[in-house]
Structure formats: structure tokens, C-alpha cells
Amino acid sequence: MGDNKEKEEREKSFVVKDKRFSAQKEGEGDSQVQKEAKREGPHTHEDSTEQATSLPEITFINFLLSLSTSAFIQLGEVEDPITQQTDKNLPLAQQTIDLIEMLREKTKGNLTSEEEKLMEHLLYDLKMRYVKAAG
């Protein structure tokens, strides 16, 4: 009976094989993706490099600002950049505020004074705006 169970488990599982390198070894040549990338030339690399350099540096402060911006959008305080509209989603705003509060608790004692002040200011501001939006 144990052999039957093992057989069933093997039949349910699946195997993932990485064939990216085996195609080159077998002499099949470039994949379609590689051919298209070569056809597009170096301008695509330059474009992606330029785009990557225009992004802000990844810091805890920028992370907090990103979260708070999401909350402002959810509170209807800021226009959604995708829909170009201002819509309120109070449950999602509350969840974002709770997420920032959780981060405050989990990072307590590990933040710079600047990061702590920003977090406290953002939480206070978001909570006040939430009360106003909910009222």
C-alpha cells in the first residue's frame, strides 16, 4: 500500500527543466528571444539603462514616501497616476496606514532620527486625513 501512495505522489508532482543552455549545447542556435534582442540592437540596452538611472535611490525614507503616497491616493487626496482620477478606498488606506504602523513597531530602535521623525509625521498626517475622509 505504501508503494501506491508514493506512486500517486510522483504522478502529482512535476519537474521543471531549464533548457536555456541545452539549446546552445545541442547546436540549435539562438532562441527567438535572443534573435529579437540582437535585431533591436544596443538602443534597447541604453533605454533601459537610462530608465534605471532616473529612478530614485532605494532608501527607507523613499520606501516610506512611496507607502504614504499610496495612502494619499487611496484617501482620494492625490490623483491616481494610472486612472487620472481621485477615488477613495478607505479600507485599503487603513491597511496602508496599519502597514506603516507595523513597520514603526518592527524597526523601533533601528532607525535614524530623521527616519523616525518622518514616520511619526506621516502616520499622524495620514491618520488625520483618514478621519477627515471617513467622516
Give per-10-residue mean pLDDT for the chain (135 aa): 55 53 47 48 53 80 95 93 91 97 96 96 96 92
Helix (H) or strand (E) holding 135: none
Nearest in space to 131 (alpha carbons), one of 80, 81, 75: 75
Sign of the Cα torsion 59, 63, 64, 66 reads positive
Cα–Cα distance measured from residue 113 to residue 115, given in angstroms and rounded to the nearest whole number: 5
- The length of the chain in residues reads 135
- Does residue 130 contact residue 90 with C-beta atoms inside 8 Å? yes
Strands (DSSP E) along 26-119, which ranges? none
Residue type, 111: L
pTM, rounded to two decimals: 0.60
Cα–Cα distance measured from residue 125 to residue 78, given in angstroms and rounded to the nearest whole number: 14
Cα–Cα distance measured from residue 124 to residue 130, given in angstroms and rounded to the nearest whole number: 10
The pLDDT, as a whole number, for residue 104 is: 96
